[in-house]
Structure 1
């Protein structure tokens, strides 16, 4: 799925799991979100605040990675088994 924007409520852990190419963005920006237990709660805004980064610039870079990610196959952690069944 090629997202049109980043859901402001989506945790960074969810973003990395669904769009693995975004992990490179977090690494390049020296963000410590990868494997962080708070990543299941922190949004992009929270993470940018914690790392003193420009949220708009990071979101733009993440969105670009998300749109180009050929490996984007993971389901959302927010999906339930009932919602996925036909």
Structure 2
């Protein structure tokens, strides 16, 4: 899987961390409480940055760098369909 060029604005922070585990370090470094937070399945990056009063552009840039270098990519999105009915 290729890393994204941008972060999908509809993707939740939970989804980001599941797909690219290396991004967890970015959330921790910014003291974001998203890891294990029940709201993480609802908040996108904009919501999370607003809640933690962080600059979204800076966090996004760091997340994309982590995604690019993530050796533990866990595969496709859990929200993508497989075509099975």
Q: TM-score, normalised by structure 1?
A: 0.90
The structure whose residues are more often helix, as a share, is 1
Q: How far 1:18 sits from its partner (Å)? A: 0.1
For residues 75 and 20 of structure 1, the distance between their equivalents in structure 2, rounded to whole angstroms, comes to 13
What is the CA distance between 1:79 and its match in structure 2?
A: 1.2
Secondary structure at 2:5's aligned position in 1? Answer: coil
In structure 1, the residue matched to 2:65 is 64
- Large movers: runs of 4+ above 3 Å: none
Aligned equivalent of 1:43: 44
| Paired position in structure 1 for 2:32 | 31
Deviation, structure 1 residue 3: 1.0
Does structure 1 retain, via aligned residues, the 8 Å contact 2:18–2:74? no
Aligned-CA RMSD value: 1.1
- The answer for unaligned runs of 5 or more in structure 2 is none
Question: What TM-score does the superposition give when structure 2 sets the normalisation length?
Answer: 0.91
CA distance in structure 2 between the aligned counterparts of 1:34 and 1:75, rounded to whole angstroms: 20
Kept in 2, the 8 Å contact 1:14–1:76? The answer is yes
Gaps of 5+ in 1: none
- 8 Å contact 1:8–1:43 — kept in the other structure? yes
Q: CA deviation at 1:57?
A: 0.4
